[in-house]
Structure 1
Amino acid sequence: MTGDLSTDGISFSYRRRSLLSSPPADILRNVTLSLTPGAGVALVGSSGSGKSTLVRIMLGLAKPSNGTVTLGGCAVRPGPVRALRWYRRAVQYIPQNPAGSLDPRMTVSQLLQEPLRQLRVEGDHRDLAAQALERVALPARVMNRRTGELSGGQNQRVAIARALAVKPTYLLADEPVSGLDLPLRDAVLELLDGLVHEGLGLLLVTHDLATAARMCGTTAVLSGGSIVEQAPTGQVLENPASPAAVALVKATRGLQLPNPLQAVDL
């Protein structure tokens, strides 16, 4: 399915079981965001700002207290796997920690074919898995290896290939390079940037404005559960309008503001 992937007025709150008499804690407040194919949007904010909770809601893994998630105008609600197959084929996730998301007992081939089977994707699944590996520049020989035999950068590429195998329209990437050293980080970001240029929509969740500057034309700043600023990335970097954005800019060492979309060395 094509069309915009949007959140409209998303709020999320909860009560701790030990404090049932207290007011609910607000994690997200009236978050509205829109993604389009072939464009990158960075969601930036400090730890605890609500970024990961928003991603869970956008993946259909958590129900918002208020608001809706839509894809092409169709509402997305948490439910059984069969009810969300249409959505999972269009929207895939790249985790921060591939080691925690890839079953070490399975071969790379099995890992890539598993979502194809679960989502009932038509075609030769082994061939589709091989195509996904090729897109992330991994050799075919890794198909029969397990994650413990691969490097951290290779495992991250396997996680991306797993998401690409179903040929989605959107990728939601939650801090996809935070655990990688600089050369591997650059390689993964270059890969994601190429995918956007091929027509994929990307939500890049990060606490790092340098990464946002390199990857995304639009940046949304999340602070205290609310989007306090949303503008072209260059504008956020050169003239931040919120205290949260100012703090993030100051924390980004070596950022060259005159050309904010260039690769940045930290």
Structure 2
Amino acid sequence: MSANDSTREYQEDIVSNMIVKQSKHTHYSTSKKERFLQRRLARLYDITKPELCFYAQDPSGYPSNPPEAISTTMKGETFYPQVLRDNVVDQERGLKNKTVEEMLGHPSWRVQCQNCYQSDPDSEISCTCDYQTWAEEQFNFWIGNINIQKSPGKGFCLFARKTIPAHSTIGEYCGELVNSAWRATAKESAYWVSTYCGMPREDKKGGQKLCRVDASKKGSPMRFMSHSCKPNAYLVRGRIGDDRYVVAVKSLEEEIQPGQEITIDYGKGWFKKGEFCLCGHAECRKPPLEDV
């Protein structure tokens, strides 16, 4: 068997496993057209490739041909955000000589597991959830259910390609781990989320301190979520088993319908003086001024 044949067989195994897991996760059969799309996306985001970029999709989920890598401009610099399957440590922003395991690998049992939802350290039922398995399921869920596509006036956003049930995990918010004391510009901080890190204290819930997940240049597709004053998803800090602290994205009380944008609430203090919200919801807290 040639090296190319071996690689192709390996990729086909990945796709087959992905489709099987996807069917179990969503409880419906996959059409021939959908399987073709999933194979195409799996090849585009092949885990054997270094430094993957994100690619634009149409409402049906198909990337353009040739694929269009998504660029971001920040502080005059244009770059292509890279796809992460796990967090990485930014050694230049306050966490020199630290590893992901040191920062996120000592979760407190008082923090709820985002897989089995156990949070009682004295429970007789031991939580045995595995981070790598959970993370792989989230990556597969993205490939099968979510689109990254352009929204008029807002840039690239996250959309549901299939129905996402209420109270379900949509994905993990990944990025570069940064010291919580590190300063950021307003645009950079749009991609920052705080999370537990370090060794847990016995007398406090959560980690010993907080660090930040910066998804501006590297992250998961969750980095493309926009703000809405009436969101359909939210961020939650938690853990997976005794392996890892995580920041999970979950749907709220209602299903997210196909074609619907996936949004979270950035918080009441997000918009500065003179800035307006573009969510377009009837309950928008800071709608644009009407034309006079």
Using structure 2 for the length normalisation, give the TM-score.
0.26
Using structure 1 for the length normalisation, give the TM-score.
0.28
Higher helix share: 1
For CA contacts below 8 A with separation 6 or more, give which structure has more relative contact order: 1
